[in-house]
Amino acid sequence: MNSPSQVQETLTAHGYYPSSALATALFLTIRLERPLFLEGEPGVGKTELAKVIASALGRPLLRLQCYEGLDRQAALYEWNYQKQLLHIRVAEAVSEAGTANSREMGNGGGAGNRDGASNGFNSDINLLDTGDTRDNRGALSRGSLESELFSEEFLLKRPLLAAIDFEGPAPVLLIDEVDRADEAFEAFLLELLGEFQVTIPELGTIKAKDRPVVILTSNRTREVHDALKRRCFYQWIDYPEFDRELEILLAKVPEVAAEIAHSAVALVQRLREEPLFKRPGVAETVHWAEALAALGTKKLHPEIVEQTLGCLLKYKDDFDFLTQRKGEAGSRISTLVTEAERQ
């Protein structure tokens, strides 16, 4: 993708319809290897963009879902404690068996092992001496075991480390809903995104061979620190205008009738102007159109809209506000449906 227009064409071919400003920001993100910070209301396509760009580039997508209390350890790596414990138990079993075998041979009981099997078994015993001998060799063996336990074999890579230490083409890293994480985690991200390297005490410093395409998203549940935003290209994603949302809907739900799609988009656009707690996003518009198509709806009317309003709204107060009857004028949703049908 050698230009913003080519980015826009490629994404459109993959079913995502970006604005020219968003396509330009994404082009610069890829070309200059700087993260892209996407902010906007839920449901406007921030997360979907990361999925589509990964598909368009033919790269894997690694997703870190942020939440309150997320720390660097959970985002970077963990040690596979169950596997480590199993390894220790196996080593202990081998060591104990070796000690018993040595005592038996010392008592003259080793003559029965003349088939050569004991030689191979004793070579395994040498992997771990116990402290029973209380010599330097035992201490070295314990050190060797510790080195094995904290090797890459027992390392569980979480999304951030997996993106840095990735074999093959650099992936697309999605850090989703970063506004849900704590400020301390923001500070860690600021450092990580600057160097694209991480230090693991037991293994040393790991640096990315090729920088991943990094996309951060925020729903603005709280303000993200300016320092993190300055590290990135920033782009606000708003609800699409009527024509673009209609284009998206017809592409995503080709089975819906054009007349219904037109009325549905017109109604959703009006709903976003209402004082709702949670306004419907593009994702909700698509889900609603799928429901209308499945019901074989030929024309929008207040009854079918109320019956399927759960596709668009997720809070009871919003339901009550729109469906409450107000005398002869009817409900608010009746008025909005009438206006949408006239558009």
- The reported pLDDT for the residue numbered 184 is 92
Beta-carbon neighbour count of residue 305 at 10 Å? 25
Average pLDDT value for residue range 57-68 = 96
Looking at the structure, do residues 160 and 228 belong to the same domain, yes or no? yes
Q: How confident is the model at residue 108 (pLDDT cuts 50, 70, 90)?
A: low
- The pLDDT tens digits of the residues spanning 289-338 come to 999 999 999 999 999 999 999 999 999 999 999 998 765 567 899 999 99
Cα(166)–Cα(209) distance, integer angstroms: 8
Predicted local confidence at residue 86, as pLDDT: 80
Per-chain mean pLDDT for the chain: 85
Say whether pTM exceeds 0.85.
no
One domain for residues 78 and 155? yes
Environment class of residue 129 by beta-carbon count within 10 Å: exposed (0-12), middle (13-18) or buried (19+)? Answer: buried
Within this chain, do residues 335 and 186 fall inside the same structural domain, yes or no?
A: no
Q: Are residues 153 and 298 in the same domain?
A: no
If asked whether residues 7 and 113 sit together in one domain, one would say: yes
Query: Which of 9-23, 152-166, 167-181, 234-248 is least confident?
Result: 152-166
* Single residue among 198, 221, 238 that ends a domain in this structure: 238
We report the CATH number of the domain holding residue 36 as: 3.40.50.300
Is the domain of 94 the same as that of 210? yes
Structural domain including 312 reads: 242-342
What does the alpha-carbon distance between residue 60 and residue 47 come to, in Å, rounded to a whole number? Answer: 15
Distance in angstroms (rounded) separating the CA atoms of residues 109 and 94: 19
190 plus 255 within the same structural domain = no
149 has a pLDDT exceeding 70? no
Tally of structural domains, the chain: 2
CA distance 71 to 39: 22
Given 199, 216, 238, the domain boundary residue is 238
Residue 116 pLDDT more than 80?
Answer: no
Domain boundary among 238, 255, 286: 238
Q: Which residue has the higher pLDDT, 222 or 137?
A: 222
